[in-house]
Amino acid sequence: MDKKTTDEKVPRIRKSSLKVKENEKNVKPNRENKTRERIAKEKKDAKKTEEKRNTEEKEKGKISKAVRGTNLKITPNNQKKSTSSILPKKMSNLGWVNRSCVNDQAVKNRVQDLLSSRLIHADQQVEWLARSIQCIDLTTLAGDDCPSNVARLCSKAAHPLSDDLTNALQIKHGLLTTGAVCVYPARVADACLGLERLRANIPVASVATGFPTGQTSLKIRLEEIEFAVANGAKEIDIVINRELALSQNWGELYNELVEMRKACGESHMKSILAVGELCNLTNIYKASLVAMMAGSDFIKTSTGKETVNATLPIGLVMCRAIRAYNRKTGFKVGFKPAGGIRTSKDVLQWMTLMKEELGDDYLTPDLFRIGASALLNDIERNLGNHATGGYLMAEEMPMA
């Protein structure tokens, strides 16, 4: 290659390099413009996000301020006010319900452990049995119920022990009563009148919603609740729709229970799960959660009319549901076993379960009730044996 050829190529190279530099100058402003636009867009999006967050925080602040202002204690009397007022229109925790599963063998092992290692000493059983009387919902749900039967039931609820036995146990007269009197809606007015005559401050509970099957339309079930409340019932024992539970239609079951909660108004709502018809422990656990989410003040095992009623494994599962719900929401929901609890031994086992799983608060009538009719007579016979050294005969005890 000669010198002339080399000299000719040099300026060409320089010209091309100049073109590249010129192109770079043109591209650079375009890139800067795009960068500015992107930054401006990001700032705009960030501003919108911040405004949305501030709005949400303000709303949360209003709600928390309102809740703080109420200063409610967690007791069944005000749970209905706090839970029913914040119930969502749609069930939001359906995922929690669907994910729930119960280990049947673990439940069985836990119950066996409680029965074998948690015993109440004989010298303490009198106090435990006397306390259990305060937790009994003394019940009559017979086809031949009439005003005289209900009046006699009210008298037994106000004076569950004979005067001689009360004096022997050194219990102040009139201090010991049952937790409630439970009747059909048609007998609520009779029960209120009977307790008023006795000047006994005992709430009247009423079954409702097509008890025990619940096989009526929702409209009729709601009207029955309203009828019982209008006649003076302070506690309503409703039955859930078992078809919805068995078909896993938890959302619809929740909606029905919310309507029932509204119909109860200021009265407590106890949701009867009819556990003997729910097939397995997992369904019982899920139904317990749904009932509590819908605003129930108590969850109850059964109507007493099923072939399987209150058993300790079922009670354990429901207690665990109550404990889980309390940890998640802060609300304490009461528990009521019913059906098949007939002896003093039975009631002591249930009270042991309450103390071990839920604590001492669940040994009071505010959070623990027992649905029974014949149980009180057996408790009275055992207390009489402690006081006198012999069992009382049936005719020696006040009639129920």
pLDDT in the model for residue 1? 47
pLDDT in the model for residue 48? 67
Active site residue 41: no
pLDDT in the model for residue 54? 62
Q: Which CATH number fits domain 101-388: 3.40.190.10, 3.20.20.70, 2.102.10.10, 3.40.50.300?
A: 3.20.20.70
Please pick, among 80, 156, 234, 300, the residue that the annotation labels catalytic. 300
- Is the distance from CB of 182 to CB of 206 less than 8 angstroms? yes
- The Cα–Cα gap between 273 and 321 comes to 13
- Is the distance from CB of 161 to CB of 169 less than 8 angstroms? yes
pLDDT in the model for residue 120? 86
Output the 3-class SS for the chain: CCHHHHHHHHHHHHHHHHHHHHHHHHHHHHHHHHHHHHHHHHHHHHHHHHHHHHHHHHHHHHHHHHHHHHCCCCCHHHHHHHHHHCCCCCCCCHHHHHHCCCCHHHHHHHHHHHHHHCCCCHHHHHHHHHHHHCCEEEECCCCCCCHHHHHHHHHHHHCCCCHHHHHHCCCCCCCCCCCEEEECHHHHHHHHHHHHHHCCCCCEEEECCCCCCCCCCHHHHHHHHHHHHHCCCCEEEEECCHHHHHCCCHHHHHHHHHHHHHHHCCCEEEEECCHHHCCCHHHHHHHHHHHHHCCCCEEECCCCCCCCCCCHHHHHHHHHHHHHHHHHHCCCCEEECECCCCCHHHHHHHHHHHHHHHCHHHHCCCCECEEECCHHHHHHHHHHHHHHCCCCCHHHCCCC
Give the CA dihedral 12, 15, 16, 21, nearest 10 degrees.
160
Please pick, among 190, 237, 297, 346, the residue that the annotation labels catalytic. 237
- The Cα–Cα gap between 350 and 96 comes to 28
pLDDT in the model for residue 64? 36
pLDDT in the model for residue 305? 87
- The Cα–Cα gap between 74 and 69 comes to 15
Spell out the domain ranges in the chain. Answer: 101-388
Regions in the chain scoring below 70 on pLDDT: 1-35, 38, 41-43, 47-92, 392-400
The phi-psi region of residue 345 (left if phi > 0; otherwise alpha if psi is between -120 and 50; otherwise beta) is alpha
- Is the distance from CB of 294 to CB of 258 less than 8 angstroms? yes
pLDDT in the model for residue 82? 41
Residue that the structure tokens 């029905």 belong to: 256
The per-residue pLDDT for range 297-326, each reduced to its tens digit, is: 999 999 988 888 999 999 999 999 999 999
The angle formed by the CA atoms of residues 316, 319 and 321, to the nearest 5 degrees, is 115
Q: Rg of the Cα trace of the chain?
A: 34
Please pick, among 336, 346, 355, 378, the residue that the annotation labels catalytic. 336
